[in-house]
Structure 1
Amino acid sequence: MSLTRTSSSALRVAVIPDSFKGSATAGAVARAMAEGVERACASARVSARSAVVPFADGGEGTLDAICSAWGIEPQRVAVTDALGRPAEGRYAVHTVEGRTTGVIEAAEANGLPAVSDVPLQPQRATTYGVGALVTAALDAGCEEVLLCIGGSATTDGGAGLLQALGARLLDSSGAQIGPGGGALADLSHIDTEGLDPRVPGLRWRIACDVTNPLLGPEGAAAVFGPQKGADPQDVIELDAALGHFADVLAAQTGQDVRETPGMGAAGGLPMALVSLFDAEIAPGGELVAEVLGVQQVVAEAEIVLTGEGRLDSQSLGGKVVDTVRRLTPDQTPVFVLAGSVEISAAELDAAGLSAALSIARGPETLNQLSAEAETRVSCAAEQLIRIYLSGRAAHRPSA
């Protein structure tokens, strides 16, 4: 989206927000910010050049953010959810400079919200459905996949995904093991003879926003298992099963990745892909920024607007706001609009952020803010730009 009037003094604005989760998508927030910028500039009789890039950090909402930025609609395909029930998932395909990339949000097929209607089954939940999304991307001619892995209900180390792509996970008798992380305790051998022949040539890039190892007190089962329904005994058994899976993979591939940062993400999902296919794993914000060309956008801006639903200390640890700030040149101011601002001015300054404004007009409930999120964001952006333009005018040399 570009809002442009020709003028040598045009205000160049980069609008790069995250979603306000539960209230507005990143695309909706970005459009609202851009509209506020345009109104402020029109009132001040200043031309506006706004580069609008809805953003996400590789977790929930990344697919929608990328589709919005690319101006495309996601494709739909039949999948199964984390419990093996029929479902529908989405993915995106885009070709740039002759290279076709598929964007897959794994939670479209193994997400926790999709199985919240029944008691959670942490030992049985499987990534098998993610395989249908990968296969659809391959059928569309994708040469690389950007796999976003947040929000999973699974702790199977990516075993189900391997099975969906044609690998056979066998027990000591040569029979296929069952679904889910608990069944990995029975694994004896991984047979890749039936693997889809397109898979080894695929470039895998995994967007990950945590650095947890696979096993132990900071691992997949211990840290993330409880939110997926795992009780203390489940955690012990899943941790042991993932360790056994890592042993089998190491024996067959010659590389042991269990201590690699990020292997514990999404129930260990990256492990199988890194072990067998040398998948790249990187901070989600950085990978998404690369795909969307964010660095070039902020390099050309005079001012950058970003935002998210709640700005707190976690926002400064690799999330969208932090990624945008790190990619922006030091001399360029970065302003944050948020539903709530829960960090101090000193913390903002230490993070390199110019200021942060809440869209709240006073003590309000989340429901009140959510109902008017886009309107509030637009008004806050307008006020912020009015203030900025007043300061710019005051510092302009007199004739």
Structure 2
Amino acid sequence: MQVDAPRQVVLAPDKFKGTVTAQRLVELMAAAVAERGDRTTVTPLPVADGGDGSVTAAVSAGWTAVAVPAADAWGEALEAPVARLGDRAIVEVASVCGLGARRPGPARAASATTYGVGLALAALLDDGVREITLALGGAAATDGGTGMLAALGVELCDAGGTPLAPGGTALAGLARVRADGLHPALRELQLVLACDVDTPMVGPDGSAEMFARQKGADDATIARLSAGLAHAAPLLENVFGAPGASLRPGAGAAGGLGWAGLLLGGLPRSGAEVFLDLLGAAELIRGADLVITGEGRLDAQSLRGKAPVAVARLAATYGVRTVAVVGSDLLTTEQGGSGPFADVVALDRIDPACADDPELTGRLVGRAVHTLLAAHPGPGTPARNGARS
């Protein structure tokens, strides 16, 4: 008598930002699988794409969490968690100068800075790190990474020689740039820019236009931030010998921090691909029967480099279907419908209150997993309740 092999399911969600971490989602999904009582085995693979959770993802892959001195987006000193492996490190911008639970207004959005990221990099360089991956997601600042550059030794002054105030709107007064004081170890640094978006820094789809509103900026502040970035771009690009860097894909990540990384010779990569490689995702997905991924909001931006889409595309190369549990699904038919997913369950269509209720979200994730497993049975697994794969 032939016994069917257990169904192999990989659980590879990203976080529901501000509600549930990727690790907690894996736990909820695994519990839902176990409740079914069928022959299904799970492989946990919490993922990240350069935003919140990137350091945690690296630690889950064997890196060590360490703390380095830094400062938040408004200059408050902090110890930032980074992942370290030998002379390699991963710096998560969101944990240095991210919004967290804060909801800043226009004035704070205008003055937010990436200076703390530069402090963290300098500390790592001083400690012998020579390869740094900047996880470029979740920044509160829209300063083009000029704060980071200043912390690393770049002088940014107005026409009178006074150093600029922090923040993106102050860049409109930039007149003098000197880079001869850059940290000397930058010459030996291999810098990887893990971008979770592919937008440029300036232009109609630039950093200020696309993302500053969610950081507290109003229309007037967005216009000032945009003007500051556009003014600063050619001045710094001339000094660093990188004309047009502000228009490159990924330059707009983390409020233009991606652009500053390009000026330093950084190599831009899809953040999702960086972390899928780091986590060994290909080996875990190859041979699986189904992948369940997810994120808080599935929208057009997801198709431009977010982790769940990267998971689905990787799985497709091995002929493995991917389904998704999301907080909300805003993809239209014109934008690709369900994208690369065989199926999507949006929790807010079950109960809209889940957006503000992590406990309710957890229960709905379990229900969604039951629904998806029933609708997509693996080889030798009978469909339940009439569901078909």
Q: Name the TM tier (shorter chain).
A: 0.7 to 0.9
1:53-202 equivalences under 5 Å are 53-67=45-59, 69-70=60-61, 74-95=65-86, 100-113=87-100, 116=103, 120-202=107-189
Is residue 20 of structure 1 aligned with residue 16 of structure 2?
A: yes
Give me the TM-score of the superposition, normalised by structure 2.
Answer: 0.83
Q: Distance in 1 between matches of 2:349 and 2:219?
A: 44
The answer as to whether partners of 1:57 and 1:320 remain within 8 angstroms in 2 is yes
Gaps of at least 5 residues in structure 2 are: 384-389
AA partner of residue 26 (structure 1) = A
The answer as to whether partners of 1:16 and 1:305 remain within 8 angstroms in 2 is yes
Q: Distance in 2 between matches of 1:179 and 1:344?
A: 39
Q: CA RMSD in A?
A: 3.4
Deviations 1:315-369 (A, max 9, x none): 4443222111111135212122234556689998863422233568954622686
Q: Distance in 2 between matches of 1:14 and 1:394?
A: 19
Deviations 1:4-46 (A, max 9, x none): xxx9824332221111233321011112223433454xx33x3
Equivalent position to 1:335, from 298, 311, 323: 323
Q: Tell me: CA distance 1:136–1:36, structure 2 relative to 1, closer, same or farther (3 Å).
A: farther
Q: Distance in 2 between matches of 1:295 and 1:126?
A: 37
Identity across the alignment (%): 34
1:33-44 equivalences under 5 Å are 33-40=29-36, 43-44=37-38
Deviations 1:83-113 (A, max 9, x none): 2223342222135xxxx43221212232234
Q: Distance in 1 between matches of 2:222 and 2:355?
A: 35
Look up the match of 2:273.
286
Is residue 205 of structure 1 aligned with residue 192 of structure 2?
A: yes
The answer as to whether partners of 2:289 and 2:378 remain within 8 angstroms in 1 is no
Q: Name which of structure 1's ranges 173-182 and 352-361 shifts more when overlaid on structure 2.
A: 352-361
Equivalent position to 1:269, from 241, 257, 281: 257
The answer as to whether partners of 1:207 and 1:287 remain within 8 angstroms in 2 is yes
Q: Name which of structure 1's ranges 126-135 and 348-357 shifts more when overlaid on structure 2.
A: 348-357
- Secondary structure in 1 matching 2:13: coil
The answer as to whether partners of 2:89 and 2:133 remain within 8 angstroms in 1 is yes
Question: Cα offset for 1:228?
Answer: 3.6
Question: Cα offset for 1:58?
Answer: 1.8
The answer as to whether partners of 1:90 and 1:133 remain within 8 angstroms in 2 is no
Look up the match of 2:202.
215
Q: Tell me: CA distance 1:385–1:346, structure 2 relative to 1, closer, same or farther (3 Å).
A: farther
AA partner of residue 119 (structure 2) = A
Q: Name which of structure 1's ranges 158-167 and 216-225 shifts more when overlaid on structure 2.
A: 216-225
Look up the match of 2:225.
238
Higher Rg: 1
Q: Name which of structure 1's ranges 342-351 and 186-195 shifts more when overlaid on structure 2.
A: 342-351
The answer as to whether partners of 1:348 and 1:355 remain within 8 angstroms in 2 is no
Q: Tell me: CA distance 1:9–1:177, structure 2 relative to 1, closer, same or farther (3 Å).
A: same
Q: Name which of structure 1's ranges 289-298 and 23-32 shifts more when overlaid on structure 2.
A: 289-298
The answer as to whether partners of 2:70 and 2:79 remain within 8 angstroms in 1 is yes
Deviations 1:29-70 (A, max 9, x none): 112223433454xx33x363x331101222233333333x32
* Count of residue correspondences: 379
Look up the match of 2:354.
366
Give me the TM-score of the superposition, normalised by structure 1.
Answer: 0.81
Q: Distance in 1 between matches of 2:108 and 2:188?
A: 34
The answer as to whether partners of 2:70 and 2:78 remain within 8 angstroms in 1 is yes
Q: Distance in 2 between matches of 1:343 and 1:225?
A: 22
Q: Distance in 2 between matches of 1:188 and 1:344?
A: 45
